[in-house]
């Protein structure tokens, strides 16, 4: 055979042929060995596709084909004879098949018998059903349809030799974003023609194929088969075991636990008064650190449920149940209302993003991802317990993610005070879980599982000590998704949902009573003749509120705007307290003593209020920019203090905080790094009786971020 190419027409034909088979040459071209189970093969393909995004646009397919075409042409130019010689003779007709539209037609599967030409596969909706008849010895087409395009592939073949390839009569396997499956009627069947339908008989019962439902209206029965089985019993056993240990430890050493909170006895009358007559339902008098960290206990309760494949709503319920059980078990103490809110709802606001980020990391390859996945040890434990269930190996990659580790410097400027420079570290993770997000298609759907999750931690240090710490978490678990994007990636995405979030901020304490808080009413001298100097601190659960998320997509850039309004409960530092104490520090009568217990001991109060926030993010090539603004206002709870009878100055406290931020970044070409600079302003205002206090702080950040 003469392998030389002699004319422009032949060159065009050859180039078109190479483009038509670009993707198929990425994958293995050998068939499955006779003794190899299909399950093993699919598992290996799943590992190859896991974490990669599905091909959803014409541009993605063209770019992949062009890159591979250049590689093929280079190989052909070096040694045409060797190039053709490595392709088995029986497969050459498939390699050089004529393709009408080389830009939108792909060869999926092997180049020999078993592969298929597929027209416009990027237009297939997510989880589109593919019915594959005649499995034979090769399922590469089926795994590629699942892995490259996120399809739900149903396999059919009556051959007993094929049946033996599956370890069970009915089994499904994750493969990238898709899912190959052999339903119970797919094997050892009788097939017969029944007019316009193709029907199958199994055990004398006919079954007819019908067109798959559109992606905007997924089949719940089909999707349910893809989900791991909820393990409620195991979830309650894990929660019960953890609570049993915690309660046992508390009861054994109760004499050393918060004697200032002791108010009730282990008698029927006392406990009835405590629980049923609501005498024990109060805001407690514990210090700031102890009270905000109750949200972390809620995170643990939440994980026992969520990592056992239960819904976010069920997991929230378990977190509330765990918190209530713990409060009731502290039989000598009040049933703290603040702990109930922080543990139950704070545990959800932090716990769901913690679960989503950990779940994503656990399904990625690479040492860094696997090491970071241990940030959620409960998830790792339950994944290990489920290791023999193939349904738990599946993971649908998110539609968008943003992970980063940053380091740099921070410059803080405050009116009337010298500027301060500190080293700055930060980590953040964001996930938009809808796999359709940002991809071509016209979609309308309600989502009842988490759409958006984010977590971030910012830390500034001076002289080896934490100067400022900020932590936040956000989740949008329910809402409506509307997206309209054409094949040129022009369009929009709109989400209207219900969200919740958590926010913690604390500056470095300066005085001993702020560094080492003492128990209340235990005889400690607070030296109230000295004006207070509490530094700012906040721990806020943004309980619930509407979220609007709007993204505009254009070729080469996108802009995303998010707005939210939340009802809040929080531990709020009284910003006017320090200035008030400068005017009122003459014992015994003119001091801050007699105010709400947590105010004059620890500087904070329990507050209710609301927060409005908005942000805009622009991505344009290597450039990124962000603008953010938020405003929160809170007022104190003026009743149900643990020591309400000792509150002689029940003044109402009010605080606000206005925060704005501008940030710009530049991605380093061909490297996972971004240079950034950020300007932030925070204005705090507080009121306590006749005193009004306000201060504006400005921060400038600059550094380098590693993105992964």
Is 58 contained in some domain?
Answer: yes
- Residue 52 structural domain: 8-184
> DSSP string of 62-78?
HHHHHHHHHHHHHHHHH
Q: Span 5-16, mean pLDDT?
A: 38
Q: What is the pLDDT of residue 94?
A: 55
pLDDT-above-90 percentage for the chain: 54
Which of 127, 162, 184 terminates a domain? The answer is 184
Is 659 contained in some domain?
Answer: yes
Q: Span 539-549, mean pLDDT?
A: 97
Q: Strand, helix or coil at 279?
A: coil
Q: What is the pLDDT of residue 28?
A: 35
Given a cut of 50, whether residue 16 has pLDDT beyond it is: no
Q: What is the pLDDT of residue 70?
A: 62
169 and 269 part of one domain:
no
Given a cut of 90, whether residue 2 has pLDDT beyond it is: no
241 and 299 part of one domain:
yes
496 and 589 part of one domain:
yes
**Cis preceding-peptide flag for 588 (omega within 30 of 0):** yes
Q: Strand, helix or coil at 460?
A: strand
Q: Indicate the pLDDT class of residue 9, thresholds 50, 70 and 90.
A: very low
CA distance 124 to 147: 13
Q: Which of 29-38, 86-95, 287-296 has the highest average model confidence (pLDDT)?
A: 287-296
Q: Span 624-628, mean pLDDT?
A: 97
pLDDT-above-70 percentage for the chain: 80
Q: Span 197-220, mean pLDDT?
A: 36
- Of 101-115, 339-353, 576-590, 620-634, the range with the lowest mean pLDDT is 101-115
- Tell me the pLDDT of the chain averaged across its residues: 82
Given a cut of 70, whether residue 584 has pLDDT beyond it is: yes
348 and 440 part of one domain:
no
285 and 425 part of one domain:
no
Strands (E), 415-464: 420-432, 441-447, 452-462
307 and 430 part of one domain:
no
Domain count of the fold of the chain: 3
**What sign does the CA torsion over 299, 305, 308, 311 have?**
negative
- Over residues 556-575, the pLDDT tens digits come to 899 999 999 999 999 999 99
What DSSP character marks residue 167?
A: S
593 and 446 part of one domain:
yes
Q: Which of 551, 641, 546, 111 is nearest to 338 (CA)?
A: 641
CA distance 204 to 206: 6
Given a cut of 80, whether residue 82 has pLDDT beyond it is: no
Residue whose token pair is 């053709």: 84
Contact 291, 323 (CB under 8 A): no
165 and 71 part of one domain:
yes
Q: Which of 534, 535, 404, 499 is nearest to 458 (CA)?
A: 404
Is 380 contained in some domain?
Answer: no
196 vs 594, more confident: 594
3-state SS, 367-395, equals HHHHHHHCCCHHHHHHHHHCCCCHHHHCC
Is 199 contained in some domain?
Answer: no
Given a cut of 50, whether residue 629 has pLDDT beyond it is: yes
How many other CB atoms sit within 10 Å of the CB of residue 273? 15
170 and 245 part of one domain:
no
Which of 123, 150, 184 terminates a domain? The answer is 184
Q: Indicate the pLDDT class of residue 90, thresholds 50, 70 and 90.
A: low
179 and 267 part of one domain:
no
Contact 486, 440 (CB under 8 A): yes
pTM of the model: 0.71
Is 586 contained in some domain?
Answer: yes
- Of 7-16, 174-183, 294-303, 486-495, the range with the lowest mean pLDDT is 7-16
Q: Span 328-349, mean pLDDT?
A: 94
How many other CB atoms sit within 10 Å of the CB of residue 630? 18
Q: Span 309-336, mean pLDDT?
A: 94
Which of 355, 370, 385 terminates a domain? The answer is 355
Is 392 contained in some domain?
Answer: no
Q: Is 414 exposed, middle or buried (0-12, 13-18, 19+ CB in 10 A)?
A: middle
Is 688 contained in some domain?
Answer: yes
Contact 159, 166 (CB under 8 A): no
- Over residues 633-684, the pLDDT tens digits come to 999 999 999 999 999 999 999 999 999 999 999 999 999 999 999 999 999 9
Is 57 contained in some domain?
Answer: yes
465 and 590 part of one domain:
yes
Given a cut of 70, whether residue 285 has pLDDT beyond it is: yes
487 and 342 part of one domain:
no
């Amino acid at each position: 055979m003469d392998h030389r190419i002699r004319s422009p027409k032949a060159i065009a034909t050859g180039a078109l042929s190479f483009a038509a088979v670009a993707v198929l040459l990425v994958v293995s071209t050998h068939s499955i060995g006779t003794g190899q189970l299909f399950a093993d093969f699919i598992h290996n393909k799943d590992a190859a596709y896991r974490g990669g995004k599905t091909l959803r646009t014409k541009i993605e397919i063209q770019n992949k084909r062009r890159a591979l075409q250049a590689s093929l042409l280079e190989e052909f130019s070096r040694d045409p004879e060797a190039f053709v010689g490595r392709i088995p003779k029986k497969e050459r007709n498939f390699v050089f098949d004529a393709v009408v539209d080389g830009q939108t037609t792909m060869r999926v599967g092997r180049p020999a018998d078993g592969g298929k030409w597929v027209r416009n596969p990027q237009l297939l909706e997510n989880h589109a059903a593919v019915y594959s008849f005649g499995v034979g010895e090769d399922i590469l087409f089926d795994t590629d349809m699942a892995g490259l395009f996120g399809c739900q592939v149903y396999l059919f073949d009556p051959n007993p030799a094929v049946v033996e390839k599956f370890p069970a009569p009915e089994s499904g396997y994750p493969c990238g974003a898709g899912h190959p499956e052999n339903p119970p009627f797919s094997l050892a069947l009788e097939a017969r023609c029944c007019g316009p339908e193709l029907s199958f008989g199994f055990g004398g019962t006919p079954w007819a194929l019908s067109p798959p439902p559109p992606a905007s209206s997924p089949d719940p029965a089909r999707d349910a088969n893809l989900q791991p089985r909820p393990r409620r019993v195991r979830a309650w056993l894990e929660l019960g075991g953890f609570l049993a240990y915690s309660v046992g430890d508390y009861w054994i050493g109760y004499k050393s636990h918060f004697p200032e909170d002791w108010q009730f006895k282990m008698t029927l009358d006392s406990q009835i008064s405590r629980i049923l007559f609501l005498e024990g339902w109060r805001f407690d008098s514990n210090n700031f650190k102890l009270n905000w960290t109750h949200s972390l206990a809620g995170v643990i309760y939440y994980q026992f449920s969520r990592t056992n494949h239960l819904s976010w709503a069920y997991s929230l319920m378990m977190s509330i149940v765990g918190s209530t059980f713990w409060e009731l078990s502290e039989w000598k103490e009040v049933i703290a209302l603040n702990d109930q809110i922080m543990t139950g709802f704070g545990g959800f606001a932090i716990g769901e993003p913690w679960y989503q980020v950990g779940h994503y990391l656990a399904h990625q390859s690479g040492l860094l991802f696997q090491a970071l996945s241990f940030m959620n040890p409960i998830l790792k434990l339950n994944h290990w317990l489920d290791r023999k269930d193939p349904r738990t190996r599946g993971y649908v990659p998110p539609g968008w993610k943003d992970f980063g580790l940053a380091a740099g410097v921070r410059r803080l400027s405050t009116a009337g005070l010298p500027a301060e420079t500190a080293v700055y570290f930060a980590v953040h993770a964001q996930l938009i879980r809808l796999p359709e997000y940002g991809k071509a298609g016209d979609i309308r759907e309600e989502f009842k599982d988490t759409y958006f999750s984010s977590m971030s931690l910012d830390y500034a240090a001076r002289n080896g000590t934490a100067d400022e710490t900020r932590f936040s978490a956000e989740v949008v678990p329910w809402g409506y998704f509307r997206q309209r994007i054409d094949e040129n990636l022009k369009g929009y995405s709109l989400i209207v949902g219900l969200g919740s979030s958590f926010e913690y901020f604390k500056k470095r304490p300066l005085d001993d009573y702020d560094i080492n808080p003492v128990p209340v009413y235990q005889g400690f001298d607070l030296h109230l003749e000295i004006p207070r100097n509490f530094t700012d601190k906040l721990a806020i659960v943004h309980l619930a509120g509407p979220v609007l998320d709007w993204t505009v997509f254009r070729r080469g850039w996108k802009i995303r705007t998010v707005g939210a309004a939340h009802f809040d409960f929080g531990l709020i530092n009284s910003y006017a307290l320090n200035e008030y104490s400068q005017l009122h520090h003459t014992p015994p009568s003119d001091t801050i003593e007699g105010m709400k217990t947590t105010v004059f001991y620890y500087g904070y109060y329990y507050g209710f209020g609301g927060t409005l926030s908005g942000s805009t993010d622009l991505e344009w090539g290597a450039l990124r920019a962000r603008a953010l603004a938020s405003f929160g206002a809170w007022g104190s709870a003026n009743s149900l203090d643990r020591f309400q009878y000792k509150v002689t100055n029940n003044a109402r406290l009010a605080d606000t905080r206005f925060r704005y931020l501008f940030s710009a970044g530049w991605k380093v070409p061909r490297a996972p790094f971004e240079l950034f600079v950020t300007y932030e302003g925070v204005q705090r205002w507080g009121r306590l009786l006749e005193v009004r206090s306000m201060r504006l702080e400005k921060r400038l950040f600059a550094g380098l971020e590693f993105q992964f």
